[in-house]
Chains A and B, each alone.
Chain A
Amino acid sequence: AQSVTQLDSQVPVFEEAPVELRCNYSSSVSVYLFWYVQYPNQGLQLLLKYLSGSTLVKGINGFEAEFNKSQTSFHLRKPSVHISDTAEYFCAVSHRGKGAQKLVFGQGTRLTINP
């Protein structure tokens, strides 16, 4: 079974500052990794995903994440945030092969951007 731990429940940052949202996972098999964003009162939207290949993955809205297999991490970064990035961010994992469609989510990190 897989599990995901998002190390920060809340992250406040100032506008135009860099941000990193941390995600660690646990799995006995190879995995796919995802970051989703949830804006207030909306569903989840895919930011980026790692399936294979380059460990640095670029997503929408200027976000990127790096897969680190040895540290079982998939941290999300953005060099300069905007007020519009205020949202909740979820890291998720699924295992490769049969059942790959089932996602296991972390608890979420609430990103608050202050002017």
Chain B
Amino acid sequence: DAGITQSPRYKITETGRQVTLMCHQTWSHSYMFWYRQDLGHGLRLIYYSAAADITDKGEVPDGYVVSRSKTENFPLTLESATRSQTSVYFCASSGRQGQNTIYFGEGSWLTVV
């Protein structure tokens, strides 16, 4: 049971570079999410998707782009990375509406220098 996997797990990049964090789930869950975790802020929702080709902004979407051409994949792209985007990024997924357990990946540690 592979579940939900994120890659890369660790990444160092330079300011201004484009970075893509990958997320893949094997459950055929409808919903997928990207959260960032920062000290003192808990987890904040960046973007979410209710199904393939349906995405919507969360609490902190600025500087990020998402796509969902296939149900199982939900990549997150930082188009021009900034130091304020140094964070731990968590992908998550959940089944149909009403099945409220959300399952998280193990996180991607991103450092922007």
Contacts and interface: CB of A to CB of B under 8 A. Distances in A.
The reply to whether chain A is a binding partner of chain B is: yes
Interface of A: 4, 6, 32, 34, 36, 41-46, 49, 51, 90, 94, 100-108
B41 to A, nearest CB: 6
Interface of B: 31, 33, 35, 40-45, 48, 50, 58-59, 90, 92, 94, 97-98, 100-107
Contacts of B106: 41-43
A49 B59 CA distance: 23
A108 B104 contact: no
A45 B97 contact: no
Contacts, number: 57
Given A90-B43, A103-B45, A107-B42, A49 B100 contact: yes
A41 B33 CA distance: 19
B11 to A, nearest CB: 15
B66 to A, nearest CB: 15
Nearest to A103: B102
Contacts of A106: 42
A108 B88 CA distance: 15
Given A6-B42, A43-B104, 12 more contacts: A41-B107, A43-B105, A43-B107, A44-B104, A100-B100, A101-B33, A101-B100, A102-B33, A103-B45, A105-B35, A105-B42, A106-B42
B31 to A, nearest CB: 5
